Chain A
Amino acid sequence: MSERPKHLFLERQSYRRRRLIDLIRMCPVIGAILWAVPLLWRTDGAEQISTSDAVVYVFLVWLGLVLMSAFLARALRDGGDADGDGS
């Protein structure tokens, strides 16, 4: 954003932290994509998806997201929360 000259390379720990934050940023995108899958399902005809399957799918995605976020939140805390600026 700014013209501030930044260091070209970071030390290993900061580098890992930035990548961790990248992953945290990607979480909602991953979730949105997975939860957009039902858009592809047919709503009529013989090949309709049964509600029980749909329930299982939606909740599995949910569980996956929760676990992933919990893991990442923990990793972020362990990595130290020095400055919040993840740019």
Chain B
Amino acid sequence: MGTLNMLVLVCLVYVAFLFLVAFAAERAAIRGKGGWLRSPIVYTLSLSIYCTAWTFYGAVGYAARSGLEYLTIYIGPSLVMVGWWWVLRKLVRIGRTQRVTSIADLISSRYGKSNLLAVGVTVLAVIGTTPYIALQLQSVTVSFAVFSDVYDASAPLGEQESNALLVAAGLALFTIIFGTRNLDVNERHHGVVMAIAVEAVVKLFALLAVGVFVVWGIGGGVGDILQRIDASKIGTWQIEGDRWATLIFLSAAAFLCLPRMFQVLVVENDSEDHLRTASWAFPAYLMVMSLFVVPIAVVGLDLLPAGSNPDFFVLTVPLATGNNSLAMLSFLGGFSSATSMVIVAALALSTMVSNHIVMPIWLNSNFGGATVSGDVRHVVLLSRRISIGAVVTLGYLYYRMSGGGTALASIGLISFAGVAQFLPVLIGGIFWRGATRLGAFAGLTVGFVIWAYALLLPSFGTGTLVSEALLAQGPLGIGWLRPQAFFGITGMDPLVHAIFWSILLNALAFFLVSLGGFPSPVERLQGAQFVNVFEHSGTPQGWSGDLVQSEDLMIMAQRILGAREAQGLFEREAKRQGMGGVLPEPSPDFLQVLERELSGSVGVATAHAMVEQIVGGASVSVEDLMAVADETAQIMEHSSQLEAKSQELSRTARQLRQANDKLTQISSQKDAFLSQVSHELRTPMTSIRAFSEILRDTDRLSAAEQTKYSTIIHDEALRLTRLLDDLLDLSVLESGQVSLNVQTGKLDGLLDHAIATALTGSGQDSLRIRRTRGHKQALLRTDLDRLSQVFINLIGNAQKYCDAENPELRIEVSQSNGQVTVDFIDNGHGISKKDQAVIFEKFARAGVQRASGAGLGLAICREIMTRLGGTVSYLPGQGGAAFRVVLADQDQLAAQ
């Protein structure tokens, strides 16, 4: 018994070590120093809970019985990992965006957040996993027994059972301590993950140590072992093709569907990047794990007496050769495999049970729903803890009842086949938008009924739950319903038979019922989000929550997330909405965020139900429905919007370019203007200075000369004044600050006045005016002074520039469409084409400089007419210089 005490001591030390590791990891994570906790290597190692005691002990037994068939169990997951781009990447992305907490949560969330479906999946998962937990307990207790030399097939099981109970209690305790420390919104358990990563290393190292010992210690190296393999009873390839293919498929399916695998693959995943590393590292891990299985089996068969249990060769071979420390290491490896599986399985199942069964019942029964006050986090945690205890207890009870007799591998396969029933619903849900809740129900029901009927019940042994007659003749003598020969097809391997029919009919029922049904809006929305998770990860399904009270939501959130966390969340959201204070508007976006946060703690379906209770039902807005109905149209609209935006942008760019050109032009105009102005000012100033110097410095000037020079100075000063007046006038007009003095008057009178003013001081012969009597009675309502200024300017121009022998100016007034136009046409040479373009610019003077003038007149005219709402333009093709003044429409009143 000394060995046994030693063993117990080693076990306790090891378990204490694991506690320490988990504790340290939790501490590091809380302190934010847990960067190394989230490395891809830790993620990969945590996946190794796939390799349970079934692998560690059972694979060797499997190999000793059936040759290389055990490899199928590792080939399937290897293919899934290598093909991560197909399924796992999508699952992980969905898990992250939807805050999925378990496989039941994922399925219920996909199919319209149906809690009933979640309950179904949970129950099935518990049924499928319990035997597996029993298997782990059994392996630990049997390995205890093997080690302590009391193992005998017929020995009383009392001591083993008490061991099993101890182990079960210890595991439950560990899981409760590290799995339910806090209600993490991300549902990640750094302590647990770190501990199972360490256990993964231990079991790999232990199995490799035994393998190396067997190959190079007992055998004579690789060549010798290969010879021994060929010489043994499993020396030739004897695997039926159907089993080989079916088991590869089965293990691949189970790898995706096992609740514990889903927990580590999806829920505990920190980054999609880790998947990339795990895609090759985990197959490598599996390869190394299964590398020495056949050598150990063959050497065990050689070395140990016939009839020894091959399931424990990993222990018995080192023991038989007297390597107690190696056997101890091997025991620890097996112990690690079993414990890590039970811990994660219990964690995953307890999350499911608590979120989908306990919490909904509690919320419904206690105090009438989600609006009561008080923190429910402790209820969630308590329900998790109780669930963990219940799951492990269930496993223990199963172990007690089954008596621990069945070969390890067969329990494992039956369990695999059970959870593999989730596959059609899972894969259909993430790739096919047409999959519906009813279809999922139908598929799962059909699959599990067939699984139970054709595989689970017969596995308890003929005559216990399934009678011999039922097996041979079928229920009530219906031959085609025989549990192991559906539709009269006999001769199939029972396992292959059950898997083939259950998965096939499951998928078929799922498919057909989905085709026939019509999904609810929430289902369709979730379906679109799941299937197109890479296209629009961020577009959530909305609540139409105008009537919701944010305060109620706050009360509820505080109870589930904790007061501080909830307040933080609300404050953050309020800030995001651009509001002060703590309470955000209950916008659909906010409700979506809140639901996601809550679902991290209580699962999607429950969170949805709780928010729904407060929001009050209508969870799908018209926009959402439209989004589902014509997503294509939306996308197209989006694209056309983009196109329109791009056009708008290029239009704006064009306008900007034009504006820039104009600004450049104006800038150069301004420069030109300045130099013009200085030039114009300098000329009169020069003569004023010169003549004033003469007057000052010359003593003997005659009176006539003095008068002459003074007159010149005076004239120049007048010219300067005029120039400055014009400039001032122009700048006032251009800046738009001019105030118009609107009066009513007759056009005729205005013209008379303008002609009289313009011709003042010049001989009457100098310019002959011919006026056509048209509509000169037209009554105008405008700034008459300004208009007159324009007319004077135009007449003055004709007087100054007309180079004809007998200068003559025709003034023609016409009226059309309510517009009055006044044309001023002289009989000179007109203005050259080149000059026509610039005559309205400042300081532009056409042709030779014949008369004084700064060249501002026409520029002022144009500005005035613009202010008055009319135009003045050059009228080409009239023989001489011709200007047309168009008066604004409203300026003219009917005179008749």
Contacts and interface: CB of A to CB of B under 8 A. Distances in A.
Contacts of A66: 280, 283-284, 287
Contacts of A31: 78-79, 82-83
A77 interface: yes
B754 interface: no
B78 A65 contact: yes
Contact of A51 (B67, B89, B287): B67
A34 B230 CA distance: 23
B887 interface: no
Given A4-B639, A28-B83, A84-B89, A65 B68 contact: no
Chain B interface size, under 10 / 10 to 19 / 20 to 34 / 35 or more: 35 or more
B17 interface: no
A81 B273 contact: yes
- B contact patch SS: helix
Nearest to B286: A62
Interface string A51-87: 1101110110011011101100100110001001111
A39 B245 contact: yes
A20 B234 CA distance: 41
A49 to B, nearest CB: 4
A11 interface: no
- The interface size bin for chain A is 35 or more
Most buried by B among A38, A55, A58, A84: A55
A51 B230 contact: yes
Contacts of B80: 28
Residue of A5, A35, A76, A87 most packed against chain B (CB within 10 A): A35
Interface in B6-36: none
B229 interface: yes
Contacts of B294: 51, 55
B765 interface: no
Nearest to A55: B294
Contacts of A73: 276-277, 279-280
A62 to B, nearest CB: 5
Contacts of B636: 3-4
B535 interface: yes
Nearest to A83: B534
Nearest to B632: A3
Interface in A22-47: 24-25, 27-29, 31-32, 35-36, 38-39, 41-43
A21 B85 contact: yes
B93 interface: yes
A10 interface: no
A44 B350 CA distance: 48
A30 to B, nearest CB: 9
A8 interface: no
Contacts of B235: 50-52
Given A43-B238, A65-B78, A51 B632 contact: no
B535 A85 contact: yes
A13 interface: no
Contacts of A87: 534
Contacts of B276: 73, 76-77
Interface string B633-676: 00110010000000000000000000000000000000000000
A5 B241 contact: no
Contacts of A76: 276
B812 interface: no
Contacts of A28: 79-80, 82-83, 86
Nearest to A3: B632
Given A2-B632, A43-B240, A58 B86 contact: no
A63 B286 CA distance: 11
B367 interface: no
A35 B81 CA distance: 15
Interface in B253-299: 272-273, 276-277, 279-281, 283-284, 287, 291, 294
B271 to A, nearest CB: 11
A33 B291 CA distance: 21
Contacts of B631: 2
Nearest to B236: A48
A85 B237 contact: no
A51 B244 contact: no
B214 interface: no
Interface in B210-247: 226-227, 229-230, 232, 234-241, 244-245
Given A54-B68, A84-B272, A59 B287 contact: yes
A45 to B, nearest CB: 10
A32 B635 contact: no
A27 to B, nearest CB: 5
Interface in B79-100: 79-86, 89, 93
A51 to B, nearest CB: 5
A34 B237 CA distance: 16
Contacts of A56: 226
Contact of A85 (B81, B229, B534, B635): B534
Nearest to B277: A73
B85 A38 contact: no
Given A3-B635, A52-B226, A65-B82, A35 B75 contact: yes
B237 A52 contact: no
A84 to B, nearest CB: 6
B135 interface: no
Interface string B809-849: 00000000000000000000000000000000000000000
A61 to B, nearest CB: 9
A4 B536 CA distance: 13
Contacts of B241: 38-39
B73 interface: no
A41 to B, nearest CB: 5
Contacts of A38: 237, 239, 241, 244
Nearest to B534: A85
B248 interface: yes
B83 to A, nearest CB: 3
5 contacts: A31-B79, A38-B239, A48-B236, A65-B78, A70-B280
4 tightest Cβ-Cβ pairs between the two chains A and B: A28-B83, A69-B280, A70-B280, A52-B226
Given A66-B280, A84-B93, 12 more contacts: A1-B532, A3-B635, A5-B639, A35-B248, A39-B244, A49-B237, A51-B230, A51-B236, A52-B230, A52-B235, A69-B81, A77-B276
